[in-house]
Amino acid sequence: MNILGLSYMYHDSAACLLQDGAVVAAAAEERFIRIKHSIDFPLRALKYCLAEGGLSVGDLDGIVFYEKPFLKFERILKTHLMAFPRSYASFRAFLPMWLNYKLSVPQTIREETGYPGPVYFTDHHYAHAASAFLPSPFERAIILTMDGTGEWSTTSHGVGEGTDIRLDQHQTFPHSLGLLYSAVTAHLGFKVNGGEGKVMGLASYGKPSFRRKFDQAVRIREDGSFQLNLDYFSFHYDLVMTNRKFAEHFCPPRAPESDILPEHQDLAASLQSVVEDAILAMVRSLVARHGIDRLCIAGGVGLNCVANGLILEDTPVRELFVQPAAGDDGASLGAALYLDTLLGGGRDAVEAGGRASRSPSGGALAGRDRWRMRDAYLGPSFSDAEIEAFLRRSKWSYRELTEDDLPARAAELLSRGRIVGWFQGRMEFGPRALGNRSILADPRDPKMKDILNRRVKHREPFRPFAPAVCVEDAPEYFATSHESPFMLLSVPVREDKRGLIPSVVHVDGSARLQTVSARSNPLFHRLIKEFGRRTGVPVVLNTSFNVRGEPIVCTPQDAVSSFLRTEMDDLLLHRFHLAKEDNR
C-alpha cells in the first residue's frame, strides 16, 4: 500500500511516502526551493518522494493531509468574531487566503499533481501523536503533543499501545505553550516559527527575574494544565502577538537586529522557566495517572531540548522518544502513518468524506512489524558519478579520495583547526543536521564558537553549537545515560571535561548532545573515532550546513554555493575534497 502524507499552508511544508507501512522518503519543501519554513504546496518534496519510491501519483492508494482545514477555519471565524472589531485587521488579512486557497485542499492536490484518488484528512494533533508514537521503539507509552495550535487543540495527551492511539485530554486555543513562546519570541525581535530556538539559547544568559511577573500572565495548575491571561496577549485577534500591557508589565519590545540587553536575556530565561514548569508538572501528572514511564513527544514545543533534558532528569520518565521532525514537517509523516493503520482495516475504517477516525486498532500493522525510526536520513542522496559530473562541469578544483580514506582526511583537517563542510548520503528530515549535511569543527578551540557564528553562520554571537560523540563514548564527557541520536536533549557536560571542549559548552555548562552509533551513521561514527584517536578527544562540533536565513543544503550545488560564500576551509562532498585555497 502506497500512502503520501502532506503538510503545507502554515509553515514547514513537507511530504512523506509510506510503502507497506514503512517510510521510504520524507523531506521539507524548503530544502528544494531554498525558502526557509516554506508554506508552499510541497510539489518538489512530493516529486522527490515518489521518485525515491519508484512511483507515479497514479500508484498511490491515498493522499492524506495533516489537519482538517474546515475545523481550523471554524476556530478562526469564531475567535475573530468574538474579538470584533479589534480583530478587523487580522480577519481581513486571513480571510482571502482561506477562501481562495486553504479550504480547497483536494482541488489543489489534484491541480498540482494530477492525482485522481481519494484525499483524506487527519486531526492535526493526531498527526503529531502518530509521528511520535508509531515510529518509536515502545509498544506502550504516554503521548504528549504541544505546539502553537492545530484545529482547536494546542496540547494533547493520551496513550499509545500497539497501533492504537487515544488522546483523551486537550488544551485548546488560545491557551497555548507554543503561542506563548512565539509571542515572547516576537516581543524579543526574532521571527516567529524560527526564532524560538534563539530564545531558548538566549535564556541561558539571563536570570528568571520576571518569573513572578509571569505568574500574572500564565496560570499553571498542579497537573501542568495552564491558562493564559489574555489581557497580556493579542495573538488571538491581532497581527501583533503581545500588547501594551505586556510591554509595561515586562519590558518594551526589542527591535529586530538591535542590541540585546540584560532585560531581554532575563525575559527569555523567565519564559523558559515557565514553560519548563508547565511541561514537567504535566509529565509528572501523566506518569502518575497512567502508570507508564515511557514518553513520546511531538509538536513544535518538542524541539525545546532543554525541557526534554529536564524530563529525563526531573520526572519519573525512564525512556523518551522525541520525533526529530517534531514540527509541522513531521506531521506529514504522522498523517501518513496514521492513515496506514486505518486503511489496513479497509476503507470502512475511515469516516465518510475522507476524515480519519480517532482511534485505529490493529489495522494495516496487524500481522507485521511497526516501522521504527532508527535514524532521520530520509531525504535525497546523490551518487559519486552525479557529484563528479557537476564538479567537472563547473570546473571546480578537487581531489578524489577513497571511502576508506575519507574519515581520516576529515579528522586530519579538523585536528588542524580547519572548518569542514560535510556532505554525505541522504539528507536529514527535520531541522537538525545529524552528520550528513553538517559543518564540522574542532571543539577544543575556545575561539571556534565565535569564528563560526561570525564568519561562517553569520548569526547572533550567543547561539551555541552542538557536540557529536560516539554513543559508547558519551558517558565519559556528558552527565547522562540516555542516547540522543536526534540532537534533542540538552545535558550537562561533565565539569572535568568542559575545558577540553569549550566551543560546544553553553554558558550554563550544558550541551545539545548528538550521540552517533555505528549502525545509524557508520561513516560519521568512523570520523569521530578517528578524530578522537588523533586528538584524544572523541567529540566534534556539529552544526547545520547553512548560513543564517537559508535552509540546510540539499544538493551538491547548494553545498558548493554555501562553501564559497563563507569562510569554511574545506568541503568533503562524498569522496571529493574541495579546499578553499584551490577554489577562490
Cis preceding linkage at 208, omega within 30: no
**CATH number of the structural domain spanning residue 393:** 3.90.870.20
For 232, 303, 368, the CA distances from 155, given in Å and listed in that order, are: 20, 14, 31
Query: Who has greater pLDDT, 364 or 433?
Result: 433
- With bands split at pLDDT 50, 70 and 90, how would you rate the model's confidence at 368? low
Q: Are residues 439 and 334 in the same domain?
A: no
pLDDT in tens, 405-414: 999 999 999 9
What does the mean pLDDT of the chain come to?
95
Q: Which of 240, 76, 63 is nearest to 149 (CA)?
A: 76
Q: Which of 429, 431, 486 is nearest to 296 (CA)?
A: 486
The separation between the first and the last C-alpha atoms of the chain, rounded to the nearest angstrom, is 50
Q: Which of 312, 329, 313, 332 is nearest to 321 (CA)?
A: 312
Does the pLDDT of residue 344 top 80, yes or no?
A: no
Estimate to the nearest angstrom the gap between the alpha carbon of 372 and the chain centroid: 18
Domain membership of residue 571 (yes or no) is yes
Q: Are residues 101 and 46 in the same domain?
A: yes
Give the rounded percent of residues in the chain with a pLDDT score beyond 90.
93
Give the C-alpha separation, 137 to 117, whole Å: 33
Q: Are residues 415 and 554 in the same domain?
A: yes
**522: CB partners within 8 A, 6+ apart:** none
Q: Are residues 179 and 312 in the same domain?
A: yes
Residue 63, amino acid: I
Q: Which is it for strands 140-146 and 153-161: parallel, antiparallel or unpaired?
A: antiparallel
Domain membership of residue 578 (yes or no) is yes
pLDDT in tens, 472-529: 999 999 999 999 999 999 999 999 999 999 999 999 999 999 999 999 999 999 999 9
Give the C-alpha separation, 441 to 489, whole Å: 21
State whether residue 195 is helix, strand or coil. Answer: coil
Q: Are residues 361 and 492 in the same domain?
A: no
Q: Are residues 360 and 344 in the same domain?
A: yes
Answer yes or no: pTM beyond 0.85. yes
**33: CB partners within 8 A, 6+ apart:** 40, 44
Q: Are residues 228 and 247 in the same domain?
A: yes
Label residues 222-250 b or e (16+ Cβ within 10 Å = b): eebbbebbeebbbbbbbeebbbeebeebb
Domain membership of residue 60 (yes or no) is yes
pLDDT in tens, 293-310: 999 999 999 999 999 999
Give the C-alpha separation, 9 to 94, whole Å: 12
Give the C-alpha separation, 465 to 448, whole Å: 10
Q: Are residues 346 and 426 in the same domain?
A: no
Q: For the sheet containing 319-322, what is the strand order?
A: 164-172, 153-161, 140-146, 294-298, 319-322
Does the pLDDT of residue 28 top 50, yes or no?
A: yes
Q: Are residues 475 and 436 in the same domain?
A: yes
pLDDT in tens, 327-337: 999 999 999 99
Catalytic residue among 11, 482, 525, 577: 11
Q: Are residues 360 and 450 in the same domain?
A: no
Label residues 125-143 b or e (16+ Cβ within 10 Å = b): bbbbbbbbbbbbebeebbb
Domain membership of residue 555 (yes or no) is yes
Rounded to a whole number of angstroms, the CA Rg of the chain reads: 23
Q: pLDDT value at position 563?
A: 97
Q: pLDDT value at position 108?
A: 96
Q: Are residues 338 and 276 in the same domain?
A: no
Strands (E), 130-220: 140-146, 153-161, 164-172, 218-220
Last residue of a domain, one of 371, 392, 407: 371
DSSP of 24-48: EEEEETHHHHT-TT--S--HHHHHH
Q: pLDDT value at position 244?
A: 97
Name the residue range of residue 123's domain.
1-135+326-371
Supply 36's cell numbers. 526557509
Domain membership of residue 232 (yes or no) is yes
**CATH number of the structural domain spanning residue 97:** 3.30.420.40
Residue 320, strand partner residues: 295
Domain membership of residue 378 (yes or no) is no
Q: For the sheet containing 355-356, what is the strand order?
A: 22-28, 14-19, 2-7, 62-65, 119-121, 355-356, 350-351
Does the pLDDT of residue 353 top 70, yes or no?
A: no
pLDDT in tens, 89-143: 999 998 998 998 899 999 999 999 999 999 999 999 999 999 999 999 999 999 9
For 13, 174, 485, 558, the CA distances from 228, given in Å and listed in that order, are: 29, 8, 34, 43
Q: Look at the chain and count its residues.
A: 584
**Cβ neighbours of 3 (radius 10 Å):** 26
Q: pLDDT value at position 64?
A: 98
DSSP of 530-558: HHHHHHS--EEEEEES--TTSPPP-SHHH
Give the C-alpha separation, 431 to 327, whole Å: 9
Domain membership of residue 91 (yes or no) is yes
State whether residue 245 is helix, strand or coil. Answer: helix
Q: Which of 147, 257, 271 is nearest to 204 (CA)?
A: 271
Task: Please say if 11 is a catalytic residue.
Answer: yes
Mean pLDDT, rounded, for 225-246: 96
Q: Are residues 389 and 365 in the same domain?
A: no
DSSP of 447-490: THHHHIIIIIS---TT---EEEEETTTHHHHBS-SS--TTS-EE
Q: Which of 570, 479, 131 is nearest to 326 (CA)?
A: 131
- Give kind and range of the element (H or E) at residue 322: strand 319-322
- With bands split at pLDDT 50, 70 and 90, how would you rate the model's confidence at 467? very high
Cβ contact 11:39 at 8 Å: yes
Q: pLDDT value at position 425?
A: 98
Domain membership of residue 545 (yes or no) is yes
How many structural domains are present in the chain?
3
